[in-house]
Structure 1
Amino acid sequence: MKRGAVLLLLFLVSLYSYAQSTVGLKEVIVKPNTEKVLIGTKQRKADYGIGGSKDFPFFQTAYFIPSNGVTGFVDRVGLYIYHKHSFLEFAKPAKELLLYLYLPDSAGMPGALFVPEPIHIKPKKNTYWHWVDLSEYSLNLPAQGVFAAVGWVKPSKNDAGPLVGMSNECSDCPFYIYRFMTEDSAWHKIDTNKVPVTDKKNAFRNGLMVRLEVAVEAK
């Protein structure tokens, strides 16, 4: 082999070796192991349901979800879609609704939005847990918890749908927290302690059937 060819070969080998030595590893993001924890409603099925109507198109009802010491990121929110009253209603598709998540204010009522916009839900059926992915927002669960509230989209005349599940599992919860988003958009709270004695036996404790799935660091 000619000397020039040998030198060229040695040069190419050296160049290849140098290139191999300067190739860096791709950046790898190491995430801690996480596990999913559910907070909010514990019941699997609703005790009854509540819905919107054309007379109150901007009505919202809210329920407080305490964090119970859980810390982590909110991955999903689940809302229980309840069944209709009659067979004909049950056969119809459930109608659209809006789900809001609020931070508690200084008075312990729903305040600023936790999720920056209402969550538009189009139920696929009438009785099931509807889950919405919130991981894109990277929401850190507040230590004080959050309020979940529902409103209804374009309710029709005499329509009580879509119904959302309610439970009586919380013995010390208020009767309900609500507001009509018209001129007076303040939240109102009805406590069973202020319900007349004659009505107490019929006073349901409206606990909205809602859950948060939180990603917490595995121990």
Structure 2
Amino acid sequence: MTQRATWLVLLLLISMGSYAQDVKLKEVVVRPNLRKEVLGTKQKRADYGHGGSKDYPLYQTAYHIPANGREGFIDKIGVYIYHKRAAPDLFRRPNKLQVYLYSVDSAGLPGVPLLPSPLEFRPKNNTYWHWLDISAYNLVLPEQGVFAAVSWPQSTRQDSGPFVGMTNECDTCPFYVYRFMTEDPVWIQLYPRKVKGESEAFYQNLMVRLEVSVK
């Protein structure tokens, strides 16, 4: 190798080394191989569907999903979509739905939002469990569990859907609604109640699930 060729090789190596020093790798969370577990609603089918209201476009309803001693990362949120069976609705494009996750505050109510913004999606026709992947947020499952909530930002008088599945799964669990009826909207805790003329109590258990990578 000539002296000139040697110098060219050295310059090339120096330039490559300089370039490598300037490259910044994106930080990633390295997870070990964790088993997947689903928390939340056990019921396979909804007992009925619940929709929003044009009069209260920011109304939300939430349900507490306990951690049950599990530790890990929340990978996905599952929401059960209860499709209406009226013929015109089969040809109508579904409205959007928003999904939230909240921590549990000191009073046992929904507290601080765990996601930077609500997850918004438009469910496809003939789907039931709709799963939203949130693994990129590397969200750790809190010890007290989370509140999952839904809202209907596009409700109209003609269509308050998409309807979300509800069950009578838990006869002792309260459910929670966020109402904007006053200047200071608050979470309201509601307990199972008797419906006039009905022999059974009315329970509103929102059908939501979490897929968790458990440690």
TM-score by length of 2: 0.80
Q: CA deviation at 1:201?
A: 3.2
Matches within 5 A, 1:205-216: 205-216=203-214
Decide whether the 8 Å contact of 1:51 with 1:162 is kept in 2: yes
In structure 2, what is the Cα distance between the partners aligned to 1:122 and 1:214?
23
2:18 corresponds in structure 1 to none
In structure 2, what is the Cα distance between the partners aligned to 1:115 and 1:134?
9
In structure 1, what is the Cα distance between the partners aligned to 2:194 and 2:206?
23
2:169 corresponds in structure 1 to 169
In structure 1, what is the Cα distance between the partners aligned to 2:38 and 2:194?
35
Decide whether the 8 Å contact of 1:179 with 1:187 is kept in 2: yes
Q: Report the number of matched residues.
A: 195
Unaligned 5+ segments in structure 2 are: 7-12, 14-27
In structure 1, what is the Cα distance between the partners aligned to 2:46 and 2:194?
26
Q: CA deviation at 1:214?
A: 0.4
2:82 corresponds in structure 1 to 82
User: Which secondary structure does the structure 1 equivalent of 2:83 belong to?
Assistant: coil
1:178 corresponds in structure 2 to 177
Q: Which amino acid aligns with 1:187?
A: W
Runs of 4+, deviation exceeding 3 Å: 195-203
2:62 corresponds in structure 1 to 62
Matches within 5 A, 1:11-90: 31-90=31-90
Return the index of the structure with the highest Cα Rg.
1
Q: 1:196 to 1:52 in 2, by over 3 A?
A: closer
Q: CA RMSD in A?
A: 2.7
Q: Which whole-Å deviations, capped at 9, do the CAs of 1:13-66 have from their partners, x for residues lacking one? A: xxxxxx9xxxxxxxxx97422111000011121111100121221111110000
Unaligned 5+ segments in structure 1 are: 13-18, 20-28
1:26 corresponds in structure 2 to none
2:22 corresponds in structure 1 to none
2:129 corresponds in structure 1 to 129
Q: CA deviation at 1:184?
A: 2.8
Identity of aligned residues (%): 49
Q: Which amino acid aligns with 1:216?
A: V
Decide whether the 8 Å contact of 1:93 with 1:126 is kept in 2: no
User: Which secondary structure does the structure 1 equivalent of 2:115 belong to?
Assistant: coil
In structure 1, what is the Cα distance between the partners aligned to 2:196 and 2:87?
34
Decide whether the 8 Å contact of 2:194 with 2:202 is kept in 1: no
